[in-house]
Structure 1
């Protein structure tokens, strides 16, 4: 049984409640039905973090972690000028490792993802499911149709300010620094979100996360602990993106399907071999990505790479241009977000 002292339902939830109820009653067997039921169930589990921290009967370790969260949350609004609302000042124990599972899919001989369009978030390269079984079932159906698929667990997401997003128990698996970065990242999505431009949105949020963490560490007199992990992920990302480029060139050839499948397998073997050289060489045995690399890999496995950091250098340059002033930075990014996609891309390339 879930236990909580105060069930929080904000005014925006009541505004959307007839819609959520109608969709849910339409059948949680439908895709939108399971989204509505899952989101409503998540929201009704929330309780104020301050009450947990003050409750001497609650787990001391949980209270300490949540107290650290409140400090990072205050820093997000006071120092980084991120939205000052109840998001991440409330907590939900979801009693599972992930809040949703995303399903990515591509055609067998393409690295371009299938996209799905939604009323609020626009078009994205995945579909999310609140139950692992539903995600696996959806992936199996796509695979039966000949698509490459991947199911990936997600520990947090943003409702883009429509609701006050809770800190989830799944997020507490991370250390304090990574948890603070996640809060900065998700609040950045509330600060600004451009429909149908995932790379822009994720790169913007990733820059806010990285610069926010740098300032957070400085304010607390801490040295960086994650530079090696960040650099290793950057190496992995470059390796994956290079593989994706070679596959794109491969799929544009006139090879037969049989020949193309063989060459495709060869590219993934090549990527694994290059990874092992990195791990056993410059990384000095850091095997944090071994599990990902050991799984069955296909086109869909490559989709998420590049979305989160493609334009981070451009946003870093823009931040420097405005004198590291967060308000001026957000104003410039918001103006950029109103531009047509092609013009926005040209500006980002010029800043890169």
Structure 2
């Protein structure tokens, strides 16, 4: 373990200030056991791989050997990046002005876990990001291994691939090959989402951070389409997403009620599976009656279900309606909006929760 620490110190110390901070943290892992050290070690090596793979977008666009498809994506990303800073008032830095091909479909795999009869996530605390509701791994095998160990402890576990993440301004975050899989529209939304994390991040409040970034992503994407003279996203696509999320969140609420009920574990276990089947049936009914039988979420709904699989919905969507109201109240002015969100971020967790509940309870003014 000491040899690994010395190698990390020599190879990372000359790079970003983040690594000069991370090395002492890795050293603490020596006192806390190999599992902690191994985890922080894979974080360091994974981030180092990203740094070493980065190339400036301008160089790639000027290079005649750059593949035409990649060139097209990078041109679109360059325009979206400029729009993000100029119009959405997101950070103006070198993030997403560099590109890295890391040779895999996801940059990290997040592992979510909950108790069998609870929707409260197992949280993990880190020196920079604070406490979050998941643990990320740069190798899928490592994520699956960690998930297997948690399953042995009786937890509900879900592993989800992530196409991008923000280092909160510590690095010049790259456009990744993982971000190109769903086309230029999705690429722009990911850039908006991740830059929103750089614009504002509150330690230890995953649902606040992700809901804020999701709102910036969605509103930014609407404005981005208008700026390019494109039609708004089809109402069908938006409506289907909202309806699907609504089904999942309603199922979460019923599960919360179930887990608080005075039932035996066996009773809760049976009712839990019945709730998951109810969610599947409601989805299929909605799909067949309103979506013409075409389901964008069939694969997700038909796969095995547990509490942890529902976590990202509550984390990423819970407070989006509150931010929609706040944006309207700010006169749709981004700087005013960010200032008001910063005020929320400075509240205590209890005060912030009460404020968000109050804001979300107000009807959003028509736009």
- Normalising by structure 2, we get a TM-score of 0.89
**What per-residue deviation string (whole Å, max 9, x for no partner) do you get for residues 302-346 of structure 1?**
111122222222222222222222112111211221111222222
Closer/same/farther in 2, CA of residues 66 and 231 from structure 1, 3 Å limit: same
- Count of aligned pairs: 343
Please list every run of at least 4 consecutive aligned residues from structure 1 whose deviation after the TM superposition is greater than 4 angstroms.
Answer: 10-13, 19-22, 24-29
The structure where helix makes up a greater share of residues is: 2
Q: 2:88 aligns with which of 80, 88, 91?
A: 80
Distance 2:351 2:268 in 1: 36
Structure 1: give runs of 5+ residues left out of the alignment: 1-9
Question: Is the aligned partner of 1:351 residue 2:353?
Answer: no
Q: 2:221 aligns with which of 213, 235, 252?
A: 213
* Bigger mean CA offset, 143-152 vs 328-337: 328-337
Q: 1:126 aligns with which of 117, 129, 134?
A: 134
Q: How does 1:239-278 map to 2 (within 5 A)?
A: 239-278=247-286
For residue 255 of structure 1, give the secondary structure of its aligned residue in structure 2. coil
Question: Superposition RMSD on alpha carbons, in Å?
Answer: 2.0
Q: How does 1:99-248 map to 2 (within 5 A)?
A: 99-248=107-256
Distance 1:312 1:244 in 2: 17
- Normalising by structure 1, we get a TM-score of 0.92
Contact 1:20 1:40 in 2 (8 A): no
Query: Post-superposition shift, 1:42?
Result: 1.1
For residue 305 of structure 1, give the secondary structure of its aligned residue in structure 2. helix
Q: 1:14 aligns with which of 2, 13, 16?
A: 16
**What per-residue deviation string (whole Å, max 9, x for no partner) do you get for residues 211-231 of structure 1?**
111111111100023542232
Query: Post-superposition shift, 1:19?
Result: 4.2
Distance 1:325 1:114 in 2: 37
Aligned partner of 1:7 in structure 2 is: none
Contact 1:42 1:92 in 2 (8 A): yes
Structure 2: give runs of 5+ residues left out of the alignment: 1-11, 361-367
Contact 2:16 2:171 in 1 (8 A): no
Contact 2:99 2:175 in 1 (8 A): yes
Query: Post-superposition shift, 1:13?
Result: 4.2
Aligned partner of 1:302 in structure 2 is: 310
Distance 2:18 2:205 in 1: 25
Distance 1:212 1:279 in 2: 28
Closer/same/farther in 2, CA of residues 19 and 288 from structure 1, 3 Å limit: same
Query: Post-superposition shift, 1:280?
Result: 1.1
Aligned partner of 1:329 in structure 2 is: 337
Q: 2:38 aligns with which of 18, 30, 54?
A: 30
Query: Post-superposition shift, 1:20?
Result: 4.3
Contact 1:203 1:312 in 2 (8 A): yes
Closer/same/farther in 2, CA of residues 12 and 246 from structure 1, 3 Å limit: farther
Q: 1:61 aligns with which of 57, 69, 72?
A: 69
Contact 1:12 1:162 in 2 (8 A): no
Closer/same/farther in 2, CA of residues 323 and 123 from structure 1, 3 Å limit: same
